Amino acid sequence: MRIDDFALERFFARWEFSAPYVLCASDVEGWAMKDVLALADDETRAMWDGLALGYTEAAGHPLLRAEIASTYQGLTADDVLVFSGAEEAIFACMNVLAAPGDHVLAAFPAYQSLYQVAAATGAEVELLPMMHQLGWRFDRELLRKSLRPQTRAVAVNFPHNPTGALPTPDEFREIARTVEESGAWLFSDEVYRGLERDEADRLPAAAEISAHGISLGVMSKSFAMAGLRIGWIACRDRDLLARLAAYKDYLTICASGPAEVLALIALRARGPVLERSRAIVRGNMARLDAFFAEWAGTLEWVPPRAGSTAFPRIVPPVDIDAFAGELRERKGVLILPGTLFGYPGTHFRLGFGRLNMPEALGRFEEFLVERFGRP
Ligand SMILES: Cc1ncc(COP(=O)(O)O)c(C=O)c1O
């Protein structure tokens, strides 16, 4: 299979660990190992101490699958398949679902693999644009019009990376119903679920509300443990899960044993784990609200309703790649130009899940003052 480079990941491979201030990360500040282990109960502590480093069960540790299932209403361990990160799950799903002659719809802008992998299978991929001018609203009418008899899958991602867009629960149910009625699968990337500004806005999971719903979850974002590389698919269609399990035999086969136990510990303690993430994101959002109010006229944004990223734009005409490069050189601050999402104009991604965000934002502001003058 030939596949285009993943522009965002190539950019991070180059800069993420050399730029002093990463102001565009999508994950939440990672937990320290000792703090995760301190959350263990007697059973998981014994699992950790006695762990042998052999292969693990291909579908995922049964206790981990049960714990993941308990985060969804009405699902059991048999509805869950563990992957090494969300990225592996996307790759497997798109390869199992799509083939030449098929049609796949994907919301855009998007985390690139959500449409690129399907395109690499030879399927025809059509993007469903979300527009800044329309508050990044997902256009349900356009979805309805774009569905065809050959449409195999519709890929959406709410809370949305990079814009922070989130439909209402009723709108999401309508999306799920529309896709199910068409006979296609709803591939629902829910990796930022749990990071809603207002918890009342949390969407139901696609796997809960639709027999054709495929919910993607991961430990990386709302659970703030990206280094575990533990993700999962939750879906009530056992035949699809079996095909995914067979495909995974050609990828990682099974997940890392230590990572599975740590994920189990964290999921059993998900109350405080998620509360820590929400507290970081809430604090940074308050700072960003004030920042964008002060810089109105120079910067424009649609405040994110959920997640840990936003996709603002610079109002004066600039070359966003050159602007971001200069900011990195002069202030050590990394922002992600919107061009890496294939998105035109002067948009850039900001991430607000990291503890040093206020300091990074302060340095960004110094740069803005030097470039545009005080607001
Ligand atoms: C929307 C979305 N889906 C999937 C992923 C992949 O997650 P992971 O790196 O944990 O595999 C990311 C990571 O940034 C993401 O933003």
Domain ranges of the chain: 7-32+272-372, 52-269
Q: What is the pLDDT of residues 40-89, one digit of tens each?
A: 999 999 999 999 999 999 999 999 999 999 999 999 999 999 999 999 99
CA 236 to chain centre: 21
Q: What is the pLDDT of residues 150-205, one digit of tens each?
A: 999 999 999 999 999 999 999 999 999 999 999 999 999 999 999 999 999 999 99
Q: Quick check: 369 and 42 in contact, CB under 8 A?
A: no
Ligand 1 atom at minimal distance to the Cα of residue 220: 10
Q: Is 49 helix (H, G, I), strand (E, B) or coil?
A: helix
The region that residue 22 occupies, defined by phi over 0 for left and psi between -120 and 50 for alpha, beta otherwise, is beta
* Mean of pLDDT values over 28-41: 98
**Distance between CA atoms of residues 228 and 212, nearest Å:** 28
Check residue 16 and report its DSSP letter: T
Q: Is the pLDDT of residue 1 over 90?
A: no
Q: Is 212 helix (H, G, I), strand (E, B) or coil?
A: coil
- DSSP calls for 246-303: HHHTTTTSS--HHHHHHHHHHHHTHHHHHHHHHHHHHHHHHHHHHHHHHTBTTEE---
**CATH fold group of domain 52-269:** Aspartate Aminotransferase; domain 2 (3.40.640)
Q: In testing the pocket of ligand 1, which one of 8, 108, 191, 192 has its CB within 8 Å of the most ligand atoms?
A: 191
Q: What is the pTM for the complete model shown?
A: 0.98
Ligand 1 midpoint to CA 191 (Å): 7
Residues with CB under 6 A from ligand 1: 26, 85-87, 111, 157, 161, 189, 191, 218, 220, 226, 231
The radius of gyration computed from the CA coordinates of the chain, to the nearest angstrom, equals 20
Ligand 1 atom at minimal distance to the Cα of residue 192: 1
Q: Quick check: 311 and 163 in contact, CB under 8 A?
A: yes
User: Strands 103-108 and 299-300: what pairing?
Assistant: unpaired
Name the residue among 183, 189, 225 with its Cα closest to residue 353: 225
Burial class of 283 by CB neighbour count within 10 A (0 to 12, 13 to 18, 19+): middle
- In order of 20, 249, 270, the CA distances from 83 in angstroms are 31, 11, 19
| Closest protein CA for atom 2 of ligand 1 | 111
The region that residue 332 occupies, defined by phi over 0 for left and psi between -120 and 50 for alpha, beta otherwise, is left
Please give the pLDDT value at position 183: 98
Ligand 1 midpoint to CA 93 (Å): 14
Task: Report the percentage of the chain scoring pLDDT > 70.
Answer: 100
* Mean of pLDDT values over 138-145: 98
Confidence band for 113, pLDDT divided at 50, 70 and 90:
very high
| Closest protein CA for atom 4 of ligand 1 | 86
Instruction: Let me know how many helices (H) and strands (E) the chain has, helices first.
Output: 14, 14
**CATH fold group of domain 7-32+272-372:** Aspartate Aminotransferase, domain 1 (3.90.1150)
* Mean of pLDDT values over 311-325: 98
**What's at 127, amino acid-wise?**
L
Q: Quick check: 331 and 21 in contact, CB under 8 A?
A: yes
Q: In testing the pocket of ligand 1, which one of 27, 87, 352 has its CB within 8 Å of the most ligand atoms?
A: 87
